[in-house]
Structure 1
Amino acid sequence: MPSYRVRIEVGALRAGTTPETVLPAGADAAAALTTVEARDVELRGGRARIVVRFTAADDVDAHLAARAVHGAVEALAHVGLPELTSRHGNRWVPVR
């Protein structure tokens, strides 16, 4: 199965949210739909982004998983738009 990755910039946390709950919530949302391969937090330009890598049968299923991750994280924090990419060899290519 193809490998996909969704990155989401995370801003201010919503009331009652602790930082350590955000990444697991996103990964769990993806895991409810597909197999999660990895999860991580990145810092880019002083801003935090969560990264969830997962498998999906096709781009349609990958978009569903990415939306689930986005929705779960958005319930906990102010977020940016999801950036969905698929792996082609050693490159990550944007999914339209």
Structure 2
Amino acid sequence: MPSYRVALSVGTLRPGSRPDELLPRAADAAAELTTVEARDILLSRGEPQLVVRYTSPDDDVAVAVGAVVEATVGELADVLGGRVLRRDGGAWTLVAAV
């Protein structure tokens, strides 16, 4: 089954939210729908990004999972941008923005 990842740039936290709950909640949201392979926080161009890697049978399902993860994180913090990528050989290919 192909591997995908959703990468979300995160801004200001919502009142009552803690930074340490963002990544676990993002991964848990994906895990309700598919198998989560990995989760991480990256720094891209000075912005923190939450990255959740998961399996999906196709691009449409992968984008739907990414949208659920984005909505979940959006309840906790401002999401400045997000994208779903598919693993193609040794590279990640953009599938869609979420």
Short-chain TM bin: over 0.9
Percent identity over the alignment is: 47
Provide TM-score, normalisation by structure 1.
Answer: 0.96
CA RMSD between the two structures: 0.8
1:45 Cα deviation from its structure 2 partner: 2.3
Equivalent pair of 2:10/2:81 in contact (CA under 8 Å): no
Deviations 1:20-76 (A, max 9, x none): 000111111100000000000011222110000000010111011000100000000
SS of the equivalent of 1:84 reads strand
Task: Tell me how far apart the structure 2 counterparts of residues 48 and 66 of structure 1 sit (CA, whole Å).
Answer: 17
TM-score, normalising length: structure 2: 0.94
Q: Report the 3-state secondary structure (helix = DSSP H, G, I; strand = E; otherwise coil) of the residue aligned with 1:28.
A: helix
The total of aligned residue pairs comes to 96
SS of aligned partner of 2:81: coil
Answer 1 or 2: which has greater strand percent.
2
What is the match of residue 23 of structure 2?
23
Task: List gaps (5 residues or longer) in structure 2.
Answer: none
Where has structure 1 moved over 3 Å in runs of 4 or more? none
Which amino acid is 1:55 matched to?
Answer: T
* 2:92 aligned partner: 92
Give the deviation of 1:4 after TM superposition. Answer: 0.2
| Paired residues for 1:1-96 under 5 Å | 1-96=1-96
Quote the Cα distance in structure 1 between the aligned partners of 2:53 and 2:64. Answer: 13
**In structure 2, distance between residues paired with 1:92 and 1:55:** 14
Q: Which runs of 5+ in 1 are unaligned?
A: none
